[in-house]
Amino acid sequence: MSRRKQLPLDFRGRHRRKKIWKKPGPKRYSRNVSHTTRRMFQKTRPLHVTVRMERSVWTLRTHRMHRSIREVFFKITDEREKFRLCHYSIQRNHLHLVVEARDRAAMTRGMRRIGIRLALKLNKSMGRPRGRVLSDRYDEKHLETPSQVRNAIGYVLNNFRKHHFHETRRMLDPRWIDPFSSGAFFDGWRHGPPPRSSYGLIVRPRTWLLQEGWRRRGQLAVGFIPGGGKS
């Protein structure tokens, strides 16, 4: 008996996958954060981190949202040996942080913890079960010199004063400290009030640049305006 031969199969032009229409995602504030591999990490260098929110998130500068964010900062302090939050300020649609980390893995875990807890707390404050909170990946800037660290601290703590200086009369007072920042816990003001206890919200820095290095350029004036004000 002759063997049967299998006929050749031609798949060209057959079983093509149909194009799936995807609903466009929500508009976000910023898509300018590069998604390339981040630069080499150095544990002796603090970082200035910016975290932006979705358009659907309420303004962060309210007492309700402030309480939620403070709870997030309080609960990440158990990572202080590896990831440390040293300064912060809360703006209407983003956060500014000055942080330290032991290595890149600790930095990634720390920021992931912040992102997850922010999503849970802020969604609860807004009365919704779930929803995207962060607009994009966080932006980081490595601070390498005492001058950079000093400018970054002033920029973070007085960021609201920079953008809205003429909107509120109380900000004309050079002694005014933004209540939505860690400025009240900062011990580097030139003529400011004595620092209060942070109650676990922030921790003492361990890098030389954040501890002593920036002070060699002089303490900050309470009325310091980043980018061209008092220094």
Strand ranges of the sheet holding 83-90, from the earlier edge strand across to the other edge:
83-90, 94-101, 47-52, 139-142
Are residues 185 and 198 in contact, defined by beta-carbon separation less than 8 angstroms?
yes
Identify which of 94, 88, 90, 92 has the alpha carbon closest to the alpha carbon of residue 52. Answer: 94
List pLDDT tens digits, range 96-129.
999 999 988 899 999 999 999 999 999 999 999 8
In angstroms, the CA 123 to CA 179 distance is 23
**Which residue's entry shows tokens 């930095």?**
107
- C-beta atoms surrounding 167 within 10 Å: 8
Are residues 210 and 98 in contact, defined by beta-carbon separation less than 8 angstroms?
yes
Across the range 200-219, mean pLDDT stands at 92
List pLDDT tens digits, range 18-33.
666 666 655 555 455 5
- C-beta atoms surrounding 39 within 10 Å: 9
For residue 89, give the H/E element and its range.
strand 83-90
pLDDT greater than 60 at residue 229? no
Across the range 154-162, mean pLDDT stands at 88
Domain residue extents for the chain: 47-217
Are residues 51 and 97 in contact, defined by beta-carbon separation less than 8 angstroms?
yes
Which of the two residues, 25 and 63, has the higher pLDDT score?
63
pLDDT greater than 70 at residue 183? yes
Are residues 70 and 76 in contact, defined by beta-carbon separation less than 8 angstroms?
no
**Which residue's entry shows tokens 């361990």?**
206
CATH architecture group of domain 47-217: 2-Layer Sandwich (3.30)
In angstroms, the CA 229 to CA 164 distance is 14
User: Tokens at residue 114, please?
Assistant: 């912040």
In this structure, the chain runs to a length of: 231
- pLDDT recorded at residue 30: 47
Which of the two residues, 224 and 103, has the higher pLDDT score?
103
Are residues 222 and 174 in contact, defined by beta-carbon separation less than 8 angstroms?
yes
Residue 75 one-letter amino acid: K
Q: How close are the terminal C-alpha atoms of the chain, in Å? A: 99
- C-beta atoms surrounding 149 within 10 Å: 25
Rg, the chain, Cα only:
24
**Which residue's entry shows tokens 């009369």?**
169
List pLDDT tens digits, range 76-88.
866 557 899 999 9
Q: Which residues of 57-94 are buried (b: 16+ CB within 10 A; e: fewer)?
A: beebbeeebeebbbebbbebbebbebbbbbbbbbbbbb
